[in-house]
A = this chain, B = another copy of it.
């Protein structure tokens, strides 16, 4: 009946994402196993015990981190697909670029590397990721490819496999940044990298002119 004081209430509601944010950063930096919950707590500015008010275990925290970080970008991608009116290649380009602006340039950028590193140890998380991120992401790219093949813009290719090949460089860019690059200081310029990728694709997907 009594509404808790605003500050306290805002705290309570904000906590989970404060915690997942801190956890995401550390999981990506050091790996899941090498991250101590005490560090997560410290970075979030709470005590160790507080974590357990919001997450049942370290693994539950892991799952929440994944859940929070990736789904929003997919929802946005699905909106782009629904509203798109230009060429299929422009659609493809818009979809890949949204990955960059909504994931690559945010705190979620490290999630693909994290998933790659830990999938085998947490099959349940892997399955969740597959169903809610990978499957939806591939559906988006697949829709763009199919649209282009149907209207004669792209040549005929096996769609399922092409999806993988088209997405791979974007994923590798993210993964590289959070693995080797970060400890060698050899960053890749994403703008240039993505431009080249789109250039190759633009010409590579085209219905053969010859």
How many copies are assembled? 4
Q: Which residues of A contact B (CB under 8 A)?
A: 29-31, 33-34, 113, 115-121, 123, 126-127, 129-130, 134, 157-158, 161-162, 164-165, 168-169, 171-173, 175-176, 178-180, 182-184, 186, 188-189, 192-193, 196-197, 199-206, 208-210
A-B contacts, 27 of them at CB < 8 A, read A30-B121, A113-B116, A113-B117, A115-B179, A115-B180, A117-B117, A119-B179, A119-B183, A120-B183, A126-B180, A126-B183, A129-B180, A130-B186, A158-B192, A161-B188, A161-B196, A162-B196, A164-B172, A164-B176, A165-B169, A165-B196, A168-B168, A171-B172, A175-B175, A200-B200, A200-B205, A209-B210
